Chain A
Amino acid sequence: MLQRLRENKSAQGMLLALPTTVWLFVLLIIPLILTLVVSFGRRSPDGNVIYSFTLDNYVRLFGYSTDCPDGQASCFDPLYMNILGRSLSLAFNTTLFVITLAYPLAYFIARAHPKQRNMYLFMVLIPLWTNFVIRVYAWMMLLRKEGAINIILGWMMNLLHIPFTPLEMLYTPGAVLVGMVYEFLPFMILPIYTSLEKIDTSLYEAAADLGANSVKTFLRVTLPLSMPGVVAGTILVFIPVMGTFIVSDILGGRQVILVGNLIQRQFLDARDPTFGSAASLILMVMTLIVTYFYTRKFGFGEEIVVA
């Protein structure tokens, strides 16, 4: 029998891949299918699922509401669309800010002396390896009315003799943005660094030899060659931002609600798994659409760095 197996290469491959495939089928594929099925269901009084086929949840997500003012039968409630829109714009803004901050640092490290590079990278990795929740908490402390930022600002304003009332930074959309940027910054630094580091330094010399100054060299040589890193980093940032709920939960309080929070609340507080499943599916579809179009345009940026 062993000889039969030896001869059948295809069977060998299948056996090796079987455990993983089965595991993922049960714990990934089936849950996704189940989510789809549940999203067409109705909520039972005790928060469970009544399996049926109704588009109510999706319709509600897209704005159809029966809870209308002036006794109208149905009207458009943009609540959920707003949440979706807010999440998209937050993801977009976060990515922009992250690129702005990450690029100079990545460039700095990439052009440093090889012996120093590891140290600089190490310094980027430490915050990354610190737990997500802790990092969010750290910002919570800084942004409070009595937090360090206000203290420093107050001290600076006092020096300039300008009256100062502490800023209400916590529980605002701005706080959520700062939190997101902070969380995902290292995920952009590393891919950009990797693609910058791959650039042969003799290219810079060649550009200089041909008469380009630093700005031109950057725009025409460095930037295009570092694009794969930017693309990879964008995917590593955009997708998680769309789904994160902790940051908006802790730094945004009840004020800022993103798709992630919506889903979380449906499953825990409101106990409507059908609606939550529908929202989750919409989130997944949106993410996949964005990823698809983005990679079509910009390529897949194989610099997905494994720390």
Chain B
Amino acid sequence: MNPFRRSPFVITAAVLVYIFLYAPIVGLILYSFNASRANVTFEGFIPAFSDKVVMDGSLVLSSPCGPFHWYCDLAKNNDVAEAAGNTLTIAFIATIISTVIGTMSALALQRYNFKMKPFSQLALYIPIVIPEIVMGIGVLTLFSQFFGWANETFNLTGDARLSLGIATVTMSHIAFMVPFVTLVVQARLQGFDKSYEEAAMDLGANEWMTFRRVTFPMILPGIMSGALLAFTLSLDDFVITFFTNGPGSTTLPIYVYGLLRRIITPQVNALSTVWILVVFFAVLLLQILQNRDSKQHS
């Protein structure tokens, strides 16, 4: 009996679900080449290359970039560039901070008992079980009330005025990401044999040296997983960012959302396609690295 045999029912269902998963994405990519600027129906690919953009009503007849017209359009869009920059900045800073403190708390929870422990565990547990929007408006309320009071009391005006922006978004992201980092690193720590650390100390390494030369390299894969997860969460986040951003701190997801409520040209599709491709290659790269890493260790 072939252990890998599956009934035709299962195979058909699987194929259908895969189609369900990819059809919208395929449509999205296709429409990024749409000749029609109104982007309501697909009017075909932009046929010709020319020096200048030639339009007929809402149809693009020819363009310097040909079928990739909307991608060129996208490249010229400064708002997108700014949003992308913000998104990456926030993600990097939030990832670094949340990975460091998340690893520390994972070590604390896994290996020590202290009076504050139940409280820390509860605090780490909450963001995972409550809807993001509850956290989002909570932080918004905190910031708006605090900023309101601080601006009044200290008479802050102009640039000194406290308001929502990159800082608030980053801080909120960290709060949201730390539980996940802690979870991942803790899972990795569970299998960790303490005798490695004892051996290091036995050989003359103090606590810091032991951590640096033995513990840290050994849990590094777990930390990297946590960091990667955190980075993704920040990059993709919509809800919390939605409630904590201000002018000048728009991220890509917020920007796209804004576009969707106004004019939708194929540029949005181009942006989406680029995003999808970047993610695709990043995941592919990750898988290759993981495969290579596990091969080295076997």
Contact = CB atoms under 8 A, between A and B. Distances in A.
- A touches B in complex, CB < 8 A: yes
A29 B123 contact: yes
20 contacts: A14-B116, A16-B108, A16-B112, A19-B101, A20-B182, A25-B123, A27-B139, A28-B127, A34-B142, A105-B18, A108-B6, A108-B13, A111-B3, A122-B284, A142-B23, A148-B23, A239-B131, A246-B239, A277-B137, A281-B134
Contact of B134 (A118, A144, A284): A284
Given A23-B175, A277-B141, A13 B225 contact: no
Given A10-B115, A108-B13, A138-B25, A16 B107 contact: yes
Nearest to A24: B123
Nearest to A126: B280
Nearest to A295: B129
Interface string B239-254: 1000100000000110
Q: Which 3 A-B pairs have the closest CB atoms?
A: A13-B112, A243-B131, A31-B138
A40 interface: no
B61 interface: no
B44 interface: no
B138 A28 contact: yes
Chain A contact residues, majority secondary structure:
helix
Interface in A27-57: 27-32, 34-35, 38, 48-49
Nearest to B138: A31
B33 interface: no
Nearest to A25: B123
A137 B28 contact: yes
A186 B20 CA distance: 12
Contact of A131 (B22, B131, B253): B253
- Residue from A29, A242, A243, A287 having most chain B Cβ neighbours under 10 A: A243
A240 B21 contact: no
Contacts of B263: none
A18 B108 CA distance: 9
Interface size grouping (class) on chain A: 35 or more
A102 B111 CA distance: 38
B101 A108 contact: no
B269 to A, nearest CB: 8
B31 interface: yes
A182 interface: yes
B267 interface: no
Contacts of B18: 105, 123
Contact of B104 (A20, A144, A186): A20
A48 B148 contact: yes
A111 B256 contact: no
A38 to B, nearest CB: 6
Contacts of B253: 131-133
A267 B257 contact: no
B112 A138 contact: no
A112 B14 CA distance: 12
Contacts of B279: 126, 129-130
B68 interface: no
B142 A31 contact: yes
